[in-house]
Amino acid sequence: MYNLLKGKKGIIFGALNDMSLAWKVAERAYEEGAEFVLTNTSTSMRFGNIDELAEKCNTIVIPADATSVEDLENLIDKTMERFGGKIDFILHSVAMSFNVRKNKPYDNLNYRYLNKTLDVSAISFHKLLQVSKKKDAINEWGSVVALSYVAAQRTLYGYNDMADAKSMLESIARSFGYIYGREKKIRINTISQSPTMTTAGGGVKGIDGLLDFTERMSPLGNATAEEFANFCITLFSDLTKKVTMQNLFHDGGFSSMGMSLRAMTMYNQALENPIEPESYD
């Protein structure tokens, strides 16, 4: 370990269980000397085992629904109280789509669900940044990271309205990154992670085939949750002070590929017995 976060304080959203990307970040941040509070919705706290993580990282969980400004204000106040001052980093690792959950395809969206998707998965990031700025909760040269996916730039079958949410999330990181950087020297980035088998990841249509495809397409292979955590720690550390308003691909090279030999070999095998989809669902 490198003590990269020694003396730093933060908030980590979105650890549900030990598969969660946020869970891995919490473990690594603790190893690197950070102190932080964990947060999630009360419902997720019941379904998952965040208390176990809190015990391991010698910290507490402050429940908050990331779509509620009131909850976010309470979270920031309680966190600052606990640390006796400002914090240095925040991880926003939050997403949910009812359209995906209820199998509503993109050309038959339920708009109430769409609003919820955008609120939970993108607008909550704006709310978090706005509350943090109003309360002047983050130290100069602090760092905020949110989690994105390549579906923000390219269309991937089945990712549904989450693609719109991720595009918006990345845009918020840029727009708020300008203002927060200009006024408080705080950096805001998104990390666009490889598909990873987590509770949210498992909900993506055709996840098994997708994981195999991206593994074959990426020269370095899919990035694991542990590798994600390592990358995230560097963004919270002082080693990346001038990186802001970026969407950083952490995907083994997938986003720059068009076709790889490994994927082509697999595809050529299927050509011997080609099958067309029976429906688009």
Which residues of the chain form contacts with ligand NAD (CB under 6 A)?
Answer: 13-14, 16, 20-22, 40-41, 44, 65-67, 93-96, 120, 147, 149, 193, 195-196, 198-201
CB of 211 to ligand NAD, least distance (A): 8
Minimum CB–partner distance for residue 7 and ligand NAD (Å): 27
The SS3 call for residue 85 is: coil
Q: Give least dist CB 52 to ligand NAD, A.
A: 14
DSSP calls for 176-202: HHHHHHHHH--EEEEEEEPP--SHHHH
Q: Measure CA 240 to chain center.
A: 18
Cβ-Cβ contacts under 8 Å for 175 (sequence gap 6 or more): none
Of residues 194 and 244, the one with the C-beta less far from ligand NAD: 194
DSSP string, 32-65: TT-EEEEE--HHHHHHS-HHHHHHHTT--B----
Q: Measured from the CB of residue 41, what is the shortest distance to ligand NAD in angstroms?
A: 5
- 177 versus 201: smaller Cβ distance to ligand NAD: 201
Nearest CB to ligand NAD, comparing residues 10 and 14: 14
The answer to whether the beta carbons of residues 254 and 194 sit under 8 Å apart is: yes
Structure tokens belonging to residue 94: 């939050």
Q: How far apart are CA 240 and CA 27, in angstroms?
A: 20
DSSP 255: G
In the complex, minimum distance from the CB of residue 193 to ligand NAD, in angstroms, rounded to a whole number: 4
- Sequence letter at residue 150: V
Burial class (CB in 10 A: 0-12, 13-18, 19+), 157: middle
Q: Which is nearer to ligand NAD, 139 or 167 (CB)?
A: 167
Nearer to ligand NAD, 29 or 95 (CB): 95
* Burial classification of residue 63, based on how many CB atoms lie within 10 Å of its CB (0-12 exposed, 13-18 middle, 19 or more buried): middle
Is the CB of 85 or the CB of 206 nearer to ligand NAD? 206
- Least Å distance, CB 192 to ligand NAD, is 7
Residue number with CB closer to ligand NAD (118 or 200) = 200
Cβ-Cβ contacts under 8 Å for 13 (sequence gap 6 or more) = 22, 39, 40, 64, 66, 90, 91, 92, 93, 94, 128
Report, in Å, the least distance between residue 185 CB and ligand NAD. 26
Burial call 192-209: b when 16+ CB within 10 Å, e when fewer: bbbbbebebbebbeebee
Of all residues in the shown chain, the one whose CB is closest to ligand NAD is: 201
Least separation in angstroms between residue 271's CB and ligand NAD is: 28
Q: Closer to ligand NAD at the Cβ: 174 or 184?
A: 174
